[in-house]
A and B are shown apart, each in its own frame.
Chain A
Amino acid sequence: MSSFEYHRPTSVADAVAALGGGDEATVVAGGMTLLPTIKQRLADPSDLVDLSGVGEMKGISEEGGAIVIGAMTTHGEVASNPVVQAKIPALASLAGNIGDPQVRNRGTIGGSVANNDPAACYPAGLMAMNATVHTNKRAIPVDDFFTGMFETALEEGELVTKVSVPVPDKAAYIKFPQPASRYALVGVAVAQTGGAARVAVTGAGQDGVFRVADAEAALSGSFSPDALDGVSVDADGLNSDLHGSAAYRASLVMTLAKRAVAAANG
């Protein structure tokens, strides 16, 4: 890989300043996607801005009915955090099943949402739970944040600083993992808050995470697996590859949605 300058700022302001210093400056959070990408020369940063020293981007707290998670909080920390386990067990479970233990010790929630991998778990979970992504500039509702495959609303010099997740009444995330990578072949998250249901799907869409309006309408009437009988998603626009056809993924979406509702109902 090519040589680069390394920076380890200790504040968001210094991180943003360091990002502005190089032609191809990039941030590294946990590096679980970025390092493999650099090794493959798909990324060739001039400057690497390591966010691991930014204390204000770490930690988990409960604020006004929401769980607020610092961007540099690892999947392992979310999975094992007592507040997350108590308030949003579905989120703890989601984080605890990403990748493998070594990946969960490095990978972060901020890195995952900023990367918006079309098969990542967090985008589906956060979209179903109607989270808000906070940056150094603004607060972005999750529906506006994820804009396409590996695409987000983040602008140049904008960093995810924390993610705020409203505590749902009920939620669950079920993934059908691709057995080699453990990424979601399809993953479905459901959440119910005040009678309204949200359903978000990862792994299946060509444009990344998406919501299923018909399923949400059905579940908002009756939050039960049976309510999804007769609801389907169109295979057009879904991914098709050697691991599964678009039709198979479409079928998995509804199967997993039913299982997720059943799991959410406990």
Chain B
Amino acid sequence: MGKEDRNMPENVAPLSQERMAYLEGLVSQARTAAAVFSQYTQEDVDRIVKPMVLAGLEQAQYLARLAVEETKLGVMEDKAIKNMVATEFVYNYVKDKRTVGAIREYPERGLVEMAEPIGVIFSLTPITNPTSTVLFKCIMAIKTRNAVIFSPHPNSVHCCQEAVRIMYETAVKHGAPEGVFTCIGSHTMPDNAYLMQHKDVGLIDATGGPGAVKAAYSSGKPALGVGPGNTPVYLEKTADLDMAVVDIITSKTFDNGTICASEQTVAIDDEIYDLVLQKFAELGAHICNERETALLGRTVIDPETGVMRPMAVGQKATDIARVIGLSVKPNTKLLITPIQGVGREYPLSAEKLFPVLSVYRAKSVDEALKVCVDVNRLGGIGHTAVIFSRNDEIIRKFGEVINAGRIIVNSPGSIGALGGVYNDLVPTFSFGCGTGGGNSTTDNVNVYHYLNIKRVARRSQAHMWFRVPNQIYFNMNAVENLRHFPSRSTMIITNPALEQMGHVDIVRRSIPPETFVRVWTIPDAEPEAKVVMQGVEALNSYKVDQIVALGGGSVIDAAKIMKLKYESPEADLEELAAPFLDIRKRVVEYPTEKVNRVRMIAISTTSGTGSEVTPFAVLIDKERGCKVTLVDYSLSPDVAIVDPQFVMSMPKGLTADTGIDCLTHALEAGVSTYASPYTDSNAMQAIRLVFKYLPIAYENPRDEEARSMMHNAACIAALAFSNASVGVNHALAHAFGARFGIAHGRANALMLPHVIAYNASVPTKFRPSPNTRAYVAHKKYAMIADLLGLGGHTIEEKVKNLVAATERLLDQLGIPRSIADLGISKEEFERAMPDLARIAFDDPSWQSNPRMPLVSELVELFWSAYHGRSPAQEAPASQQETEMEVCV
């Protein structure tokens, strides 16, 4: 099979070799023209379009006369107006439109829309609007740099050829490529089928009857198919009746009713029905009696198919009357046929492209709307509908119940639908009828349907933030700043141990004496829903206006959720805990309307979680056996007090675990894909403080400077991870800690050296994230090593030194280096592994990790932590030496 044979359409009725060669020649010529056209600029095409429009206007009457002579349809004067609308009005719409290159730009969205021509368009034109449709399509094609092969309705070939000739000669004279338009002379259905399926035809634009539209859509080619209508009209009692009657007569008699958007059946409110018919009669309509209506129904509509007979299409009212033997006045413009229903048993409720208009007396708005729906669905779905009314509510209801691409209000249907004359619809000669009409669009077909619109989408810079509490007080005795916060009723939320240690008394002393203070103690464990709701009841009963949360992460988390439910009782915690990928786009919204308003002050009594400044809170749902994690900046306390006097007595183990939790926060925030210069500064400072002061605080718990600096470090690290989030270390620790009952800080510690080594090696898989401009985790670890003065010449060496320093720190703190050291057997760990891996992968913490972990990698990390083999002794995988390029 040769190259040319591959262009042969399939399933096409046989054509002679000679005929095929002729059609191939048309396509080849159009293809060449379209290809050449692709080089033209906007200015080039605009220079061609204007003279074409002027030529069309000049020849409007000539072409109208030709059309009427050839088709024997319509009114010459009206066809001339159509030709002028198809040129002047269409030009008015397209003249300033960009259709070449960049056609629309949205700088704020980083989007540019660019035009790509379609190439060769195969266009069917109708008998009812032959020349106007050709003029319209030629202008659209030149404006969009396409070539068109026209196939006119067989009974309008000559006038269409003449219209194409006028457009073509003018276009080529002003620079269009030769061969840009061609018009098939005599043709057959197989010709059309051949061209519709031709590989070099890009689009079929079929304006015509249902057969043509169906053939176009059946070809398998992209198609614009527009077809028949059946326009219902509701003439409602509040309408301007004189205007409505004139508009309907104007529209229905325009070109003898050949425009498919013209009015077909008018539902008229009972109260105005007789008056409206009288006005029609006064202006030249003949109101048919029952016998005349029945006679018309039998003659102009085919009883077999329910479709109008061609003999009546586009004929004058008097000629139709004469042919069927009706006696009407010589100046009769319109035949009005009262009908009692809609459907096949009422033949005149169908589409009638001639000046016969059905009317229906509607007893109510509801009945009128139903009749219009019936007419709409009797062959007119998606096309056009008309309403005359001054009642906005009824107009809106009409728009809701009628399925029509164009709903024309208080204006003539046919000319209104064409657009640009009575309204701001886009001027057209092709009405998209949507899926109801078997079409791909409900638009008035226009230049944009003759283009492939390309979108150039620039990478958008994700909006970032650094959100922290309004006020943070720190250093020894910072709690005294409580006196700055006036309150009528304050509740201190804490746990029993802290009350016993006298911490609550210290807080009480700093609250202004005029404040009424209650203490609410909760268990020292992650809060349960029941505990929270009891606290909310207490807040309500004391009408609290200030909460002071004194404790570790559990107490402060509980207080955050109590505040949320106290301020917004309707808040659904389960819904608010719904997972999300990007906090900026998440589905749920935290309540902004508040029944109560309360200030929240958080005083941390551990140096690890940083909950006093974070937007996170964790709740245990015992009924469902799961944790509910809430994340929203509205949860962040209003004021944080970082006073080391509350941590001076922390036991060594807790000092170690919480200190490593703090280090993990800082390290993970530092390499997070959400890291920014704002979070980096905090993360790096926190890391420096932990390496310097944590061993001292651990060895000398009463060392005030070390305690103070570690307390600051925890808060500063929390400022970083509140905005940059954490990473895979936390995902592993959450799963492992929950399964084996290991404290969060210790679980983090067991994973930390392995996660540093993992993140410092080239990812197996990159996760889509606009924040990730480059893979820099290894460089940032190296930078941290430099900050700590760990030495090393290459990035690889520096990362190794950081891992080793972390391991030394863990050793100094007496933290086991392996899960096995905790007494967990290999068999037990192996049994737990499927669940651990699954839960860790479901954990949202890793979403901002620089490496997207595969489940198999999570398993490897768990086993590395189990065995506790030092990653510092192993080189990170495939890490090449690179120059330092990262700045903080």
Q: Do A and B truly interact?
A: no
